[in-house]
A and B are shown apart, each in its own frame.
Chain A
Amino acid sequence: MVEFVLTLSRVLAAFSRLVLWMAGAGLVAMTAFIGMQVWGRFVLNDTPTWTETSSILLMGWVIFLGAAVGIREGNHLSFDVLLYVLPQRVVRVCHYISDFVVIAFGTGMIAYGWQLADTTWSTTIPNLGITGATSFFSLIFGGVLMILFSVERLLRRAVGLPTARFGEDAIED
């Protein structure tokens, strides 16, 4: 079982690096878009009208992809004061609950993101001409990743492997 979880972790580690690279590429592209917007307006006196909306869409991807990786790496800000005084057994239960809350919320992101995409399918985003449902794709995909990485945390804890939390060093493997 431990062997299986370790293998899964190695696969997910590679996968989360890929996700992080995608988000990083998104951040670089956003930077380029803003540069083009300023250049177009100030130098060419012809403002590109697609840059604002595209940057916002890209930011959605950066946030939800980065936040999902943050679940795996334990980057998210959390409140540990009570956990310091509780016995280890209870702390473990708290960690389990916390992971289940993330899974529940991730499920909501998928289900309700899907519903939002569905109701906005026939609308179009001004100046881009693509379907309004596009705004919700990053929400749905982020939900899938959050569930995936939370399940990994649950499995690791179940077999006695460490899981990363805010304020601690990253787990290497």
Chain B
Amino acid sequence: MELIVLFGTFTGLLLIGAPVALCLGAASFATVAYIGLPPVVVFQRLNSGISVFALLAIPFFIYAGELMVRGDIARRLVALAGAAVGHLRGGLGQVNITASVLFGGISGSAAADASAIGGLMIPQMEKRGYGRDYAVNITVVSSIIALMLPPSHNLIIYSISAGGRISIADLFTAGIVPGLLLALALMIVAWFVAKKRGYSTEPFPGARAVVGLLFSALPGLILIAIIFGGVRSGVFTASESSGIAVIYAIVVTILVYRSLPWNEFVAATMSAVRTSSMVLLVIGSAAAFGWLLAYLKVPAELVIWMKGISDNPLVILLMLNIMLLMLGTFMDMSPLIVITTPIFLPVAMAYGIDPVQFGIILILNLGIGLCTPPVGAVLFVGCAVGKVRISQVIKTIWPFYLAAIAVLMLVTYVPAVSLWLPSMFG
């Protein structure tokens, strides 16, 4: 009955269009009152849920992304990608994917990636005769790459949701191979679709031009090097690297390149406040929701239920994947990570699945969910930027979904895909 109150209130409020954070908070509030517990516990969980040092990475990475887009660093990265892979079949589509790899490695946010790269690429692709749906398809699905490549704040949320006992550095390293595989799979699909539609290619501008653009893109590339090098050489921790990224972006755009005027700096700051406060309020409310799930012993019951169905780890993983994909279709990423990790991680671990590998499975799964209707923040952003109706995009996006799901299966059933690289560093 308690669970009916919890999920019933949550779903009811969600359907009438209340903010997701408030749906989580109010449902927890109602359930606590129903059980007869002091409601103050909901607000304690809300406050402690956001009072976590590692969460600082979220506002910082969002802030760094904003500064880079407004301070011209992101555009230079796109120009470099254009020169390097624009001559391949489906040229600008390949550029879009490559830019996601370069920019995604810095922003770590699929929505930021979709709006930044989409805003730059979709108009250009349309100008060169690519279908707008094709441009949006690629922008949307390739932005999942940002979730896999370091620094991904979603992996940080996962580590925290797992009790802070999974190394963030290991998670970051584990996401690299799956992220690059996803990029490769999408490039292959983009190639086939472009060939079928008869899209033209861009001329290769020559090695000299690529080198020139490489220099122009250096500030963005150096940031990647600083984050990686700084964490790996012990100058700062993974969560501190986010703050360093902001400082670097400010120094480069304001002092070195003078590409960020004061009003744009203010706008970037305000935008970062708006986005990160929204994301973090959801995380705080989800902490209250998750506390109730633990208090009502939902994870334990779920493990027992799943064990009753099958004790084959492969079947369990398939069930987990399907469940997460369905959940990801209806809800946003960060609350889902916070809510599902305490439920599914013990299940996965009970079947001998490494928590680092599971983190990558979880993120990729939910990332696909971000791109699927009815609720998909990235899909919304992509459609908004490309000015295309969701229904129109959905008709042609499925080959890209298939590529993402193929990579998901690979990550799920071949542990080495995610665990090999961290083992090299360990």
Interface residues in chain A, defined as those with a beta carbon under 8 Å from any beta carbon in chain B: 20, 23-24, 27-28, 30-31, 34-35, 37-38, 42, 52, 55-57, 59-60, 62-67, 69-71, 73, 75-83, 94-95, 97-98, 101-102, 104-105, 108-109, 112-113, 115-116, 135-136, 139, 165-167
A-B contact pairs, 27 of them (CB 8 A): A20-B274, A23-B277, A24-B270, A27-B269, A31-B246, A35-B244, A38-B236, A42-B236, A56-B53, A63-B50, A64-B281, A66-B276, A69-B273, A73-B274, A75-B278, A77-B278, A78-B19, A78-B20, A81-B374, A94-B16, A102-B19, A112-B39, A112-B40, A112-B42, A116-B40, A116-B47, A139-B43
Q: Is the CB of A105 within 8 A of B26?
A: yes
CB 8 Å contact bits of B37-68 with A (1 = contact, 0 = none) = 00110111011001111011001100100000
| Alpha-carbon distance between A60 and B47 when the two chains are bound, in angstroms | 8
A77 neighbours in B (Cβ, 8 Å): 19-21, 278, 282, 332, 377
Q: Is the CB of A108 within 8 A of B273?
A: no
- Indicate which residue in A52, A70, A80 contacts B277 across the interface (CB closer than 8 Å): A70
Which B1-28 residues have C-beta < 8 A from chain A?
13-22, 25-26
Q: How far is the CB of B245 from chain A (nearest CB, A)?
A: 10
Interface size on B, residues (CB 8 A): 59
Which B309-346 residues have C-beta < 8 A from chain A?
330, 332
Q: Is the CB of B43 within 8 A of A76?
A: no
Q: How far is the CB of A41 from chain B (nearest CB, A)?
A: 8
Q: Is the CB of A76 within 8 A of B22?
A: yes
Given contact pairs A59-B59, A77-B19, A77-B20, A20 touches B50 in the complex (Cβ within 8 A) = no
Q: Is the CB of B273 within 8 A of A79?
A: no
Q: How far is the CB of A67 from chain B (nearest CB, A)?
A: 4
Interface secondary structure of B, over-half rule: helix
Q: Is the CB of B243 within 8 A of A34?
A: yes
Q: Is the CB of B278 within 8 A of A37?
A: no
A75 neighbours in B (Cβ, 8 Å): 274-275, 278
Given contact pairs A35-B243, A42-B235, A60-B47, A104 touches B276 in the complex (Cβ within 8 A) = no
Q: Is the CB of A167 within 8 A of B380?
A: yes
Q: Does B375 contact A (CB under 8 A)?
A: yes
Additional A-B contacts beyond A75-B278, A95-B17 (4; CB < 8 A):
A27-B273, A63-B50, A105-B22, A112-B44
In the complex, the chain B residue whose C-beta lies closest to that of A146 is B22
In the complex, the chain A residue whose C-beta lies closest to that of B374 is A81
Q: How far is the CB of B401 from chain A (nearest CB, A)?
A: 20
| Alpha-carbon distance between A42 and B237 when the two chains are bound, in angstroms | 11
In the complex, the chain B residue whose C-beta lies closest to that of A33 is B243
Interface secondary structure of A, over-half rule: helix
Q: How far is the CB of B292 from chain A (nearest CB, A)?
A: 15
Q: How far is the CB of A23 from chain B (nearest CB, A)?
A: 5
Given contact pairs A76-B22, A79-B17, A167-B380, A34 touches B277 in the complex (Cβ within 8 A) = no
B46 neighbours in A (Cβ, 8 Å): 109, 139
Q: Is the CB of B240 within 8 A of A38?
A: yes
Point out which of B60, B243, B247, B375 has the most chain A C-beta atoms below 10 A from its C-beta: B243
| List of 7 A-B pairs having minimum Cβ-Cβ separation, nearest first | A66-B277, A34-B243, A76-B19, A94-B16, A98-B18, A112-B43, A24-B269
| Alpha-carbon distance between A113 and B275 when the two chains are bound, in angstroms | 24
A105 neighbours in B (Cβ, 8 Å): 22, 25-26, 29
A104 neighbours in B (Cβ, 8 Å): 26, 29
Q: Is the CB of A81 within 8 A of B375?
A: yes
Given contact pairs A27-B273, A55-B53, A98 touches B282 in the complex (Cβ within 8 A) = no
Q: Is the CB of B273 within 8 A of A31?
A: no
Given contact pairs A24-B273, A112-B39, A67 touches B17 in the complex (Cβ within 8 A) = no
Q: Is the CB of A63 within 8 A of B280?
A: yes
Q: Is the CB of B17 within 8 A of A52?
A: no
